[in-house]
Chain A
């Protein structure tokens, strides 16, 4: 592998003194009040709270005990470029990411055309160097055109900077094809990330199969559509000793399958979305198309199993599966609507409000799972430590806001949490040493 897999547009390097912030970096075992000095985009010094003085050129921000965490890493977003820029593009998508406290995101290749060749990857990386507000990595397709019939030139794609491989959006139906991709991984590396769904079970379903789908007369997608594929592909990963990542787990059976694979020592990891952790098929009763996603929102026991999996570590990380769609595409009957919800701007606040405040998981665990995606893709995780580039988010945990009330940074507004009152507002996001996002309420302070 030659080129660095993550790219972003150059930004002025930040010179900041964050005075009296609560620095929470679970990976470093750190949770303490401190002053954090950032010089020329690097963390220069962590000092006892209230003791550091800003340098003449630096901006002083009074933290007053507000939270500073390593910037989040999202291993699963759809930036819709090329081909569907009316939904999102690299600039708007990474602006949304920055507003959600993310310092880096991994973009999926189900674009139009599909990201399945090195020249296309090269041009996207060029665009990212010009437009991306936070760091972006690109996963390339496993099969040409996501058709499931022919492997992409994985080694060349990897050499050109592909972060990994996935046919996300569509399942890889053929076990034989997946096996070949896993064998090829020995040559080129790169995590193979899998969207698990058996089309013969999912059919044309538009929501979770259960009491709600029965009452609404919607074709249901049974949870076994996902879990049987997780079982199959975990076994393939074990057989080939390959590195496989399971995307957006949604049900009990999948969590159990991943737990079992990990017990056997197979090299698998898994992600879960905020919406699967917080919502169920009951939220679909009103046929709000923002609640239509793939995999679909499942039952309450499924949700509980996902929370437990997140807590135990069976599920390694949180991913938003940020999937923007234009308003007129979602303003149609439920069965006609495309699947997907946006999520970058609400992920932290929704999970903090829905899981941390009610005491279901603790804040340190949430931060750990929202940053863990980097390591899964063989990247150095963000840290708040001297000598490291500034990649961090400053958060006001007490701030309350209504999701979407002030509009969105994303080009699309199909967010399943829209209208909900949330706690926890991102005030500032530092990515790659520069300020990627700054909340309007965060007034600059005159340097002392």
Chain B
């Protein structure tokens, strides 16, 4: 794995490998000194074009627990606000030779684009409304820890699917892990054509009882001013996951931050069915596993580069060794090297 751009790129075996590695890292968080030297001397650059405290600090913590150096670059207050393009920003920051760039932007496909402009490993930490692959991985991790396995489980993703990169990544990841996925929400916030990802669509929570897992999405207040829903009150009346709607056997998830009283009632959020804090914990270990996988296992590009440097180092020595050699082809070749013709 050279980059983590999309859950789409990971098959079931790859998801399991990352999640299992994350489970081994979980033990590090319980140590008195919460650090292993796996990525000592490596540099991780957090490049965030959107406000994010949780995801950014989770990546930062993950990198630091692996002993990597971390630089945070937030787009606000920087050259980006002065009109620098994404490409120019990436080229400029590449001068610091980051080994990995963790990128969050409001634009679909930005992570994939950045791969073409620099040699660092790219981790997509959210590209517009497209994908958020580490969220999907940490959710798979959390659910496996809670349920033992996901195969055959019925998972309902409830709320603003249209504006949610979490929904897209999770539909794909949960399906790859063998779950059945249903999305439910107001018709204005369920994108036309979403069924093509392999999920069912419901516009009410009438059948929510059939779910093993209820995954509530954040309902952003801006959606109301943009008139996607008539009011948050009406939204809550139809789509809030609360004590009446959530059955005791169901697991409740949420990517955070929660709008208490909107998409979730306080009682269910505080109940033992909610695994929201476990998700946050999982975030760090899963991101450790991702960074480890990208940086500790030498990447083919690194190996190629190392081989190239070794070859460049070896070449002048070889030429020197052959000075005066009777091999005429070799001598002629040496004469053609600019600056190597010293007569």
| A complexed with B | yes
Contact between chains at B105 and A333 (CB < 8 Å): yes
Task: List A residues at the B interface (Cβ < 8 Å).
Answer: 209-220, 222, 287, 328, 331-336
Closest to B163 in A: A217
Compute how far the CA of A335 lies from the CA of B108 in the bound complex, rounded to whole angstroms: 7
Q: Mark B181-206, 1 if CB is under 8 A from A, else 0.
A: 00000000001111111000000000
Known contacts A332-B85, A332-B86; is-contact A216 B108 (Cβ 8 Å): yes
Q: Which of B87, B106, B127, B168 touches A215 (beta carbons < 8 Å)? A: B168
In B120-168, the 8 Å CB interface with A consists of: 127-131, 165, 168
Q: What would be 6 A-B contacts, judged by CB atoms less than 8 Å apart?
A: A216-B108, A217-B108, A217-B168, A218-B129, A287-B109, A333-B113
Compute how far the CA of A331 lies from the CA of B110 in the bound complex, rounded to whole angstroms: 11
A201 to chain B, nearest CB (A): 12
Q: Which of B105, B106, B110, B196 touches A214 (beta carbons < 8 Å)? A: B196
Compute how far the CA of A260 lies from the CA of B78 in the bound complex, rounded to whole angstroms: 55
Contact between chains at A217 and B129 (CB < 8 Å): yes
Q: Which of A220, A222, A328, A334 touches B108 (beta carbons < 8 Å)? A: A334
- Residues of A contacting B108 with CB < 8 Å? 216-218, 287, 333-335
Kindly list the 8 A-B residue pairs having the minimum CB-CB distance in the complex, ordered from nearest: A333-B107, A217-B129, A287-B109, A211-B196, A211-B193, A214-B193, A217-B130, A214-B191
Closest to A331 in B: B87
In B326-341, the 8 Å CB interface with A consists of: none
Q: Which of B105, B129, B192 touches A209 (beta carbons < 8 Å)? A: B192
Contact between chains at B196 and A215 (CB < 8 Å): yes
Q: Which of B130, B131, B165 has the most CB of A within 10 A?
A: B130
Contact between chains at B130 and A210 (CB < 8 Å): no
Task: List B residues at the A interface (Cβ < 8 Å).
Answer: 85-87, 105-110, 112-113, 127-131, 165, 168, 191-197
Closest to B116 in A: A331
Compute how far the CA of A334 lies from the CA of B87 in the bound complex, rounded to whole angstroms: 13
- Residues of A contacting B191 with CB < 8 Å? 209, 213-214, 220
Known contacts A209-B193, A210-B193, A211-B196; is-contact A217 B87 (Cβ 8 Å): no
Contact between chains at B130 and A216 (CB < 8 Å): yes
Contact between chains at A214 and B86 (CB < 8 Å): no
A-B contact sample (18 more), CB < 8 A, given A220-B193, A336-B107: A211-B193, A212-B193, A214-B193, A214-B197, A215-B196, A217-B108, A217-B128, A217-B130, A217-B131, A218-B129, A219-B129, A287-B113, A333-B108, A333-B109, A333-B110, A334-B108, A335-B107, A335-B128
Q: Which of A213, A214, A218 has the most CB of B within 10 A?
A: A214
Q: Which of A222, A332, A333 has the most CB of B within 10 A?
A: A333
Contact between chains at B193 and A213 (CB < 8 Å): yes
- Residues of A contacting B165 with CB < 8 Å? 217
- Residues of A contacting B129 with CB < 8 Å? 217-219
- Residues of A contacting B86 with CB < 8 Å? 332-333, 336
- Residues of A contacting B110 with CB < 8 Å? 333
Compute how far the CA of A64 lies from the CA of B249 in the bound complex, rounded to whole angstroms: 81
A279 to chain B, nearest CB (A): 18
Compute how far the CA of A328 lies from the CA of B84 in the bound complex, rounded to whole angstroms: 11
- Residues of B contacting A217 with CB < 8 Å? 108, 128-131, 165, 168
Compute how far the CA of A273 lies from the CA of B109 in the bound complex, rounded to whole angstroms: 27
A389 to chain B, nearest CB (A): 47
- Residues of B contacting A222 with CB < 8 Å? 192
Contact between chains at B87 and A332 (CB < 8 Å): yes
A288 to chain B, nearest CB (A): 9
A207 to chain B, nearest CB (A): 10
- Residues of A contacting B194 with CB < 8 Å? 214
Closest to B117 in A: A331
Contact between chains at A214 and B109 (CB < 8 Å): no
Compute how far the CA of A41 lies from the CA of B214 in the bound complex, rounded to whole angstroms: 76
Compute how far the CA of A18 lies from the CA of B168 in the bound complex, rounded to whole angstroms: 60
Compute how far the CA of A214 lies from the CA of B129 in the bound complex, rounded to whole angstroms: 10
Compute how far the CA of A222 lies from the CA of B188 in the bound complex, rounded to whole angstroms: 13
- Residues of B contacting A210 with CB < 8 Å? 192-193
A215 to chain B, nearest CB (A): 6
- Residues of B contacting A334 with CB < 8 Å? 107-109
- Residues of B contacting A213 with CB < 8 Å? 191, 193
B144 to chain A, nearest CB (A): 25
Compute how far the CA of A85 lies from the CA of B286 in the bound complex, rounded to whole angstroms: 50
Closest to B111 in A: A333
- Residues of B contacting A209 with CB < 8 Å? 191-193
A301 to chain B, nearest CB (A): 14
Closest to A328 in B: B85
Compute how far the CA of A438 lies from the CA of B168 in the bound complex, rounded to whole angstroms: 51
Compute how far the CA of A55 lies from the CA of B52 in the bound complex, rounded to whole angstroms: 78
Contact between chains at A215 and B197 (CB < 8 Å): yes
B291 to chain A, nearest CB (A): 24
Known contacts A215-B168, A216-B130, A328-B85; is-contact A287 B192 (Cβ 8 Å): no
Contact between chains at A220 and B192 (CB < 8 Å): yes
Compute how far the CA of A217 lies from the CA of B193 in the bound complex, rounded to whole angstroms: 11
Compute how far the CA of A206 lies from the CA of B85 in the bound complex, rounded to whole angstroms: 19
A285 to chain B, nearest CB (A): 10
Closest to B161 in A: A214
- Residues of A contacting B168 with CB < 8 Å? 215, 217
Q: Which of B105, B109, B129 has the most CB of A within 10 A?
A: B109
- Residues of B contacting A287 with CB < 8 Å? 108-109, 112-113
Compute how far the CA of A350 lies from the CA of B113 in the bound complex, rounded to whole angstroms: 27
Q: Which of A213, A215, A220, A287 has the most CB of B within 10 A?
A: A215
Closest to B8 in A: A215
B265 to chain A, nearest CB (A): 28
